[in-house]
Structures are given as C-alpha cells and as structure tokens.
Amino acid sequence: MRIREALGILVCGVFCFYVEAQSITDQTGLPEKRCSELQSTVDGKTFACMVWDNDEQKFSNPTQIEIYRDSQLALTIETDAPIRESHFWEGGNQLSVHVGKRGDPGAYELFDLTTGKRVGKLDSVSGVSALPQWAKGRAELDDESVPEGPAYSEQRTLWIAKVLRQVGAISPGMTRTDLLRIFTTEGGIFTREQQTFVLRECRYIKVDVVFSPANHEAEDRIMRISRPYLAYSVAD
C-alpha cells in the first residue's frame, strides 16, 4: 500500500488520506524524496511520513515514521522491525503500526502522537478476527462492515444479475455515449482506440473496449467489448 509514484488521493475512511507524491513539498515543506508514503488525517492537520530519503534499503524495509504538524516535525517513531503498514487512529491522536518481515505474522504497536510513547503492543494473534480494532487495517474493517445473511445475499445476487443484463445490452456498433450511460472512464494508460471502463455503481467491475475512431463530427463506435471482470481501481 506504499505509494511509489504519484497515485492521487485515496480516501481511507476515518483513518487518513494518502497524498500525491508531488504535493509533499506543498503540504509539508518536505523534499520530494523524503517520504515513500505520506498520510494525512482527514482534517489535513497531521501528516505521517514513512522515511525514505531516496535510500533503496529504507524504501523496502522502512523503520522510521516522522509526524508533522503545521509543516513542522513534531516527533519521530522508530521501530526495530520493518514497517509493513500504518494508519492513524482515534481521530489522528494515535498511530497504529504493523511491523515484521514479509511472511511473518509480525507485531502490532500503537503510539500516542502527543508524547510519541508506545501505548499498546500485540506480539502475535491467532487470526485477523482476534486483533483489537486499532490494529486492524482498512481492508479488515471494511470486510467487517459488510452485512451478512440470507436477505443480503439475495439482494447481492439480484444486483449482479442486473449488472450482467446492463453490460449485455452494450454491443458492437453502439457509441461511447451509449457506453457511458452505465460506465465511466478508468485511470491508467489508454488510447482513443482502446480503453478500460468501470461500472458507475461499482468501480471494481470493469470492461475493456476497442473503438472504431470516427471522422469529423461523428462519434466513435464500439468494435469489441470484453466480458465484465473484477479488478482493483487504477489511479492516474
């Protein structure tokens, strides 16, 4: 989840915002290659910088996070093991850090961002469900928030059937305007002739479309459209 290039702003619910790499200098006064990942609290007043300093070793195995407020360094958090993930907690007053080598369960540490002291630690757990809320990442909390039960499963099945009918109604010979009634553009690299589109109702449902470019004022028409598939979002 570390930002290696400019990935745009990704909202992380109550936790943070991930900030564009190019905006690091503007937002904090830090040099561009100081942070491999930069998070901010929702109010934009506190930043957490995963220290990189253009050092390959620090990039792949970071062990230091700097906390900035009002463009000033407030405190530094150092860990004994590489940092795998971190996020703000308690409205930005605390920072949760998951440390450890890849492939190992690792440990979870909670730091107070006023004093810089560690106020919680968990060395190992039997599974994600056993983690305290502060140690769970965005993905785990999102998974827990999904309602379960027969009624919800039936609604999801009906919605997928609706999506398949909508996508099935798009066929070669139709125009971009026809496609854009239910889809919108995806980020990433594309050309006028070929592009990936995401469903307006769910950006993880995608289709790849090949167009026949039109001349003059005529509109491009669809030559081929793929079957719908699932994939994570691509940022510009």
Out of 103-107, 123-127, 202-206, least confident range: 123-127
Distance CA 39, CA 157 (A): 36
Distance CA 158, CA 15 (A): 32
**pLDDT band per the 50, 70, 90 thresholds, residue 233:** confident
107: part of which helix (H) or strand (E)?
A: strand 107-112
Domain ranges (residues) in the chain: 10-145, 150-230
Taking residues 83-94, report their average pLDDT.
Answer: 92
Q: Which residue has the higher pLDDT, 62 or 33?
A: 62
**pLDDT band per the 50, 70, 90 thresholds, residue 22:** very low
Domain 10-145 CATH (choose: 3.40.50, 2.40.128, 3.30.1120, 1.10.3720):
2.40.128
pLDDT at 110 over 50: yes
User: Residue 5 carries which side chain, given as an amino acid letter?
Assistant: E
pTM value is 0.62
Find all residues with CB under 8 Å of 52, minimum gap 6, and list them. 33, 34, 35, 36, 58, 59, 62
pLDDT of residue 152: 92
